[in-house]
Structure 1
Amino acid sequence: MSSSYLDFFSLKEDPFGLTPDPAFYYPFNEHANALLSLDYIMNNREGFYLLTGEPGTGKTTLLRIFINKWHSQAEIALVMTPRLTSEEFLQAVLDDLGVIFPLSGNKNDMIKEFRDFLLEQAHSGRRVAIVVDEAQQLPDDTLEELRLLSNLETEKEKLLQIILVGQPELVDKLNAPHLRQLSQRIAVRSALTHLSGKATADYLTTRLHRAGALTGAIFSPKAVLAIHQLSGGIPRLINMMASRALMVGFLEVKPVIEEKQVQVAAAEILKREKQAQSRTRGLNRTWLGIGGILLAALTALLVLFWRL
């Protein structure tokens, strides 16, 4: 983004960057309640916490704020690649926490080292938490491993807090009968939804002010309404549309963004989103087709085997 673009709107930095930035955090109710819930489970040493929301609703930003707040009081393992076996997951957690474990990978020895670490941290008054992002991708065996790890406790308190963050399908996954025991242990749950029209307006104004705008009236009321309607209130899409609308306004020398500039910006963004979704669906169909071919081949081999 060019300096002339920023200068045109009297901005010191990009107000609508897509990289999660706690400095631009807007505390609407659901986010504020989720942060309070995170503090609650850490302060009260609750076992599990579940945070869900559609892509782009701000889950990663919340995690960064939470980690920044607690890093001086807690040891936090952040797992960003959850498609791991139970043994790989445990190794990743211990490695992130700096726990030395046997190179043999013996699971019992790793758990013993982990328990000693947890007791040491509890004795010094520090919390220990495992945060799993995109947790809907966790294999069932790894989820069961997390349940077993949550059993690490003293007579008075839990030694480990486990924070699962993922998309709404994570709730459906946890409701499966074979994961009932884990689901029952989740003491606190939060769900992020889309921003309302008023929250969208406040969100835009807040980010503009923090980026150095002298006025919050860069977007007209109709432009704000259009952004809310076209983005569906999803913060990531709000950022994309607002940023692109500012660029359109700059190129058209429009110091106040109107509905027309938003529509131009949104048309391009929604087209890209649709193309990305089509590519994903196409890839899924390809894998389904491959799976069908392999299944047919396997069936044929089995039939041939039994005939022999």
Structure 2
Amino acid sequence: MNWWQNVRKDPAETRTATSTDRPALAALLASSRRRYGPLAVEAQIALLNGGVSAVGFDGNNATGFLGLSMREPAGNPAELWVDIALVALAPGYAAQRTITQLLQAALPALRAKHATGLVCLSAEEWLYDALTTIGFVEVDQVIGYAHTSHRPVPTSPATATLRPAGPAEADTVLRLNAAAFAPFWRYDPAKMLTWLLTADHAVLAEVEDGRPVGFSLTTSASNSEYAQLIRVATHPTARGHGIGQQMVADAIRHSREIGAPGLALNTQASNTVSRRMYETLGFHSIGRAAAVLVYPL
């Protein structure tokens, strides 16, 4: 039997999702046993209003939802990547076939916006199998690392001056982020600014002439949760001098000061330089690696 035959029935209608589909999506999320992505109402509303997500129906009941979030264009020439932010399937509908139908419904809007491709970051086997079957390709993995509080705080040479970063440094942080990461790995300016404004420990690294060459953003945590180093970046011209290591060591010290049991972060499996640095500082890998899947358009 072919994979597309492993389904009890097809949705009678598959189309672009709109805000009017909110009740149907809520019911689908409540009944779905195969679900990926955030359940926050605000996130769902944003996906419904984005104009590129897709939903399937059988009568009045939603059979599947493919929530897509468009990033801002980045790079020159500009790349416009679209994240798979939420997937939900009703019981009795095969993942591969349902997601294929939802993707087909979303493609016209994506191509009209000249999207570069779709991206999904997932460690869930059912979603990985479905996406790779319909043409997604694994291009990397994201690995979690943690530095626990029982390990000694690493020392690092003070090769740069670290000072607090705030709203006044927003443009500098955005410039450094754009310089440090390829378009595929950049976050949207809006997300970066949100992180900068909400991080309880935002740091800017400057060299002797006062030139900013890096930044780090760390979120707070309760005593039962790891603090999160959500972003650390060094300008390419300043790499190799221990500035990134200095900022990570500073984030570890901050996690101790707030009483967190440790500091956690993520990095790409292909980023061997960063992985070596984290392991040298006493980090160990945690959890299951998440596959980075891409569907070029």
Provide TM-score, normalisation by structure 1: 0.27
- The structure with more radius of gyration: 1
Which of the pair is proportionally richer in helix?
Answer: 1
Q: Which has the higher contact order (CA 8 A, sep 6+)?
A: 1
